Every structure is written in C-alpha cells, then in structure tokens.
Amino acid sequence: MAETTRMPAFPAGFRWGAATAAFQIEGSPHADGRGTSIWDVFAAEPGRILDGRDAATSADSYRRFRDDVALLAELGVDEYRFSISWPRIQAEGRGPANPAGLDHYARVVDALAEAGISPLVTLYHWDLPQALEDEGGWLARDTAARFAEYAALVVERLGDRVNRWITLNEPAMTSLQGYALGELAPGRTLMLGALPTVHHQLLGHGLAVQAIRAARPGAELGITNNHTLVEPASDAEGDLVAAGAFDAISNRIFAEPVLLGRYPDLAPLGLESFPGVEDGDLELVSAPLDFYGVNFYNPTRVAAAAPGSPFAEAGLPFEPVEIPGVPVTGFGWPVVPEALERLLVGLRDAYGDALPPVAITENGASYPDEVVGGRVADAERIAYLDGHLRAVHRAIEAGVDVRGYDVWSLIDNFEWADGYTQRFGLVHLDLDTGERTRKDSFDWYRRLIAEQRAG
C-alpha cells in the first residue's frame, strides 16, 4: 500500500507529466498517407503478439487526441511526453515530409498549448519505417543519416512551438529485444550480431542533435535510455562477473558513448572493440545534452549463466534470476522502489559533471485492472508510483539533479508483443468501445500534483 504520510515537497519548477507513444495509442494505421512500420509487419505475423490483437485501433488517439489532452488538463500536468510516428512523416523513411502527418502533430501541439501543457516530443519510439528495415534497418549505417533528416523535417515544422525534444526512446530495447532476441520488432535473432544497431542508433542520435541544434539553437535536447539497477545474485566471482557483463550490455553501452564519448570494455563478452565505429562518430554521439532521460521499471538480479541454459548456449556469461520476497507487477517485474534511488545516485557517482539534469521519462506498473461499478481500484499501482516518487525525492536530497517525472502511461495501450494483456494506464481503456475510465491512480496523481503546487 502507498504510504499514508504526505509526499515530501519536490523542488520548485519540478515538471509533472504523463507519457505515451504513437504506435501504442494512435491507431489509424492507414490515415493521411502513413506508411508501414516494422511494428505493423511484426504484429501481423501469427504468434508474435500474445493476445493476437493489433494496434489498428488501440486508444484511437489519432482521432481522439483532444480527449487525451482533456485528460491531461484534468490531471494538471506540466508536460505531455508523446512521440511522432516516423512513417506518418516519411512513409518510406526518406524524401520530403508528408504534409498531412505534420499537420496532425501541429494540431496536437496547438491543443496542448491551449490547455497550458508543454510538449516533450520523442522523435523515435520504435516505429521504424518498414522500407528502411528492408534495406537493413538499424544494422545499416545509412539509417542513422535517414533519422537525422527525418528529425530535421519535424523540427523545421514544429520547432517554433516545441522546445524540448527526445531523439531516441530506449535504444537498448530495440537492439537487445528487437535485433538480438527477436522478442520485439523487427524480430531478428542475431544475438551479439545485433551490436551494430547500438552504434547506428546512437550515431543517429548524434546526427539528429547536430541537425536540430543547427535549425533551433535554443532547443532543449535529450535522449531516453532504459536503465535497470543490476545486482549480482551472490558474492561469488562468477556472479560478480556476470552482473558486470549484464550491466555493460544493458546500461553502459547506451549511456557511456553519450555521456563520456566511449564504449565500455566488452572483453567479458569476447569483444575487443565495438563494431561499426568510425572516426569522428563518438564526438557526434557525445555532443552535450540539456537533459538525460531515464526510464525505470525494476531492478535485475543476475547470476552466472547455468550450463545448458539458453544464455549459456548463446555464449553469454549471465542469466537474470528472480528476486525473492518482493511483490511483482502484472508483468512479473519485481517492485523495489529503493532501486530507483540507488540507480540515480549511481549514475551521478559514475558520470559526475558529464551527467546532465535528469528527467524520469517513464515509470509505472502494469496490473490486471477491471472496471467494477464504474470504478477501477488500482491500489497496487498507487503504491508503486508512491514508492518510486519517494525514491526520486530521496535521490534529489542526495544531490541528484532530477527535474521531472512522467508516469507511464496516461492510458492503457498496445503493450508491444504483449498486446493488451498488460495495462499501465492511469486511464482504463475499453478495447471494444474505446471508453475511457479514470482509475483511482488518476485521481491520486491529480491530487498529488495539486498538493505539490500548493506547497
């Protein structure tokens, strides 16, 4: 249960927000010249999506975005983090911008402005145009250049009204789950052969930063990385080595090039150098940022890979194991709020002055919510959010410069390969009618924001 004591006061100017992603909520996959994305293709393959459903309707937010803005205004948030669908802007991932696609997002931004809500726009939240995947996707260095051109088109149109931009969302998940393990689009199973996608995404980030800075020198730019606090299962040397390797491939290969201009040592994985890096790349990748986005859901306990396990068979030295004695979310993810505090303090300690101000760009939990008597009682989610916000506050007290918090997610949505089996929203979505029902967590978050503003 959530603590009964009042939430401590966050610093003046702390931004409260909620987050979504285009493919997960928009629907209308064929509207106004939108092209096909890798997720359209992946979701259409039998067996890829747990419940067999697709995102053709989802929350119908392409048409109902004003309903979403009204919910945000009711919450009283300062900002709304949402993403642009690349295939809506360039159907084939290259060439001139599609005016209808840009017009749609201009209307979204204008509606937010009317409601007094600041847009925080993510340029890439996993929906790569399928035409680019057909040419190699993020395995191809050219995709980085295509991404920068797309970013420039969006910023040219919206940059007069949008000042804060995120280049990439969770490149780790694209590389590790999309290209290495095949769990997410595009469904490739390349294992360590997926590593070039890490560098090409980060190079795309660097090129996009360069392009946006040239077009809008005053824009605030960041990247969002998914981070997990990695702990060894024991003090045994094998578990310590395994945890170090897992930390490197899950966290550090995505953070250190951006913050320090170098890749970590991957010798434990049998690699002497990082594939795909050319002269001058890391200078682009590590260009200074205005904020660093952190998505956090849970910690990970790691042991040495057991002989015969899928991890050992793949040549990996690590294997995630259960954290005993803690509650879990609907996804089965362990709920350990203090892990977020330790992660944030650890980032500060590891990167020092190289770490820009931090924004928590996603944090939330899925539970099997139901509407009963017109109400969704989601006490577990409230407890999760309460605990993690208190952890953020403790990190701030410890000296970490955290500037904002975006709850994931505003509304139940298409949860990637899990379809609609996992509900993260503050707002319940009826999949058949599209009806939106505010959960108890919605009211809790609304009251929290109001209390924080009141001081």
C-alpha 160/C-alpha 105 separation (Å) is: 13
Which token pair is 40?
Answer: 């359209």
Look at phi and psi of residue 395 and say left if phi exceeds 0, alpha if psi is from -120 to 50, else beta.
alpha
CA 175, CA 198: separation in Å to the nearest integer? 6
User: Tens digit of pLDDT for each residue in 352-363?
Assistant: 999 999 999 999
Q: What is the pLDDT of residues 196-246, one digit of tens each?
A: 999 999 999 999 999 999 999 999 999 999 999 999 999 999 999 999 999
Distance CA(289)–CA(208), nearest Å, equals 12
User: What domains are there in the chain, each with its CATH number?
Assistant: 15-454 (3.20.20.80)
pLDDT digits (tens, 9 = 90+) for 56-100: 999 999 999 999 999 999 999 999 999 999 999 999 999 999 999
Res. 1 pLDDT band, cuts 50 70 90:
low
pLDDT, position 446 = 98
The residues facing 226 across adjacent strands are: 295
Instruction: Residue 13: count other Cβ atoms within 10 Å of its Cβ.
Output: 8
4-26 average pLDDT score:
96
pLDDT bucket at 4, cuts 50 / 70 / 90: low
Cα-based torsion angle of the residue sequence 364, 367, 372, 376 in order, rounded to the nearest 10 degrees: -10
Question: Which residue of the set 133, 170, 256, 341 is catalytic?
Answer: 170
Query: What pTM does this model have?
Result: 0.98
What DSSP element (H or E) covers 438? Answer: strand 436-438
**Residue 68: per-residue pLDDT:** 98
Would you call 170 a catalytic residue per the annotation? Answer: yes
- Point out the catalytic residue in the list 256, 362, 380, 415: 362
Whether the pLDDT of residue 331 is over 70: the answer is: yes
**Cα angle value 195/200/202 (rounded, 5°):** 100
Return d(Cα 36, Cα 54) in angstroms, integer: 13
pLDDT band (50, 70, 90) for residue 175: very high
- Report which DSSP code applies to 31: G
3 pLDDT above the threshold of 80: no
93: tokens are 């991932």
Q: pLDDT tens for residues 256-300?
A: 999 999 999 988 778 888 999 999 999 999 999 999 999 999 999
Within 192-328, where are the H helices?
Answer: 195-215, 237-247, 253-260, 281-285, 310-313
Q: Is 167 helix (H, G, I), strand (E, B) or coil?
A: strand
Per-chain mean pLDDT for the chain: 97
Cα–Cα distances in angstroms (integers) from residue 96 to residues 126, 154, 273, 402, in the given order = 21, 11, 37, 38
Closest CA to 344 of 365, 364, 358, 363: 358
Given this model, what pLDDT does residue 299 score? 98
301: tokens are 């306990």
Q: What is the pLDDT of residues 375-388, one digit of tens each?
A: 999 999 999 999 99
2 pLDDT more than 90: no
